[in-house]
Amino acid sequence: MNQSKTIFSGVKPSGDLTIGNYIGAISQWPEMQDKYRCIFSIVDYHAITVKYQPEELRKRILEVTKIYLASGIDPKKSIIFQQSAVPEHTELAWILGCSGSYIADLKKMTQFKDKAGEKQNSVFVGLFTYPVLMAADILLYDTQAVPVGDDQKQHVELTRDIAKRFNNKYGPSFVVPEAIVRKEGARIMSLTEPIKKMSKSASNSNSYISLLDDIEVAKKKIMKAVTDSGTNIDYDSANRPALANLLTIYAQLGNRQIPRLVKDYQGKGYGEFKKDLAEIVAKFLTDFQNKFNNISNKEAQAVLESGRQQASALAQMKMEKIRKVIGVR
């Protein structure tokens, strides 16, 4: 494990992880392993901010772990662990909530507004304050960079603000992290409403492709995906967002460049393009699922236990220092 820079990121084990989660975030993690000290968490406490079933959550925790491994994250190079297994996360979240987090900041968080909707006065407090826990997840390991999807940049900015306020109050205590957002494919959009992000919690299953979708089902979703008016294939995210989204998926999963794809499909219609894209998606999912299915739950549990031990050692050292600077030790 390279010690030059610490990277932290995580995925919430709720809903089916999609090709959007993979392209926007997870796919860039394996290549970071040889450059940085990488810490990847299954952030299960974030999954309980909304309605959930305990048995389903237990299943999802192992599923996400296996998805990490199938994506190429190597437990010999990276720390992979379950957030709730390291209690220092919630301890630090409480401290940061008292020494660096303002209610005004949390009210600005778009994900709270999106999930709470018009019921902001009747949702649980955790949905409002979970960005503070997210900040604790990051700051606990002296993280210098956070690879995230485009929609998570706001959370990293809040984390930076919280770290700066804490440091100003108590002296240098936390590294102020930066977000790493990939230039292409940072946000994959819905297949049915391309002005919205592809979401694993969407009610319409045709709007997303799960990493564990049946192959034929996934192909049908591509063929049903909405397209814009016109017949020519070109990339224009502002005026033709549906086609731009499909081109991005093709480029990312097929290891192609968008300008080359546009050139190759000149004079060809949407039908041929979508049929080829469906095959690209099918090949990717087949390869991915073969890797996933070869990982047992027992292997995943062993990886989580090893990761817990490593993460706990780092977290305990950090919290000893934080408890001293705030005066409780």
Catalytic entry in 197, 219, 221, 274? 197
Q: Is 59 a catalytic residue?
A: no
Catalytic entry in 5, 77, 200, 220? 200
List of residues 6+ apart from 256 with CB closer than 8 A: 250
Q: Is 115 a catalytic residue?
A: yes
88-98 helix and 297-326 helix, angle to the nearest 10 degrees: 40
Query: Where does residue 90 rank: exposed (0-12), middle (13-18), buried (19+ CB within 10 A)?
Result: middle
Q: Is 268 a catalytic residue?
A: no
Question: Of the candidates 78, 88, 104, 103, which has an alpha carbon nearest to the alpha carbon of residue 315?
Answer: 88
Q: Which residue has the tokens 């045709």?
A: 206
Q: Which residues of 71-82 are buried (b: 16+ CB within 10 A; e: fewer)?
A: bebebebbbbbb
Catalytic entry in 5, 115, 153, 220? 115
| Cα–Cα separations (whole angstroms), residue 194 to 62, 164, 198, 311 | 31, 37, 8, 38
In the structure encoding, which two tokens stand for residue 313, read together? 């050692």
Active site residues: 115, 197, 200
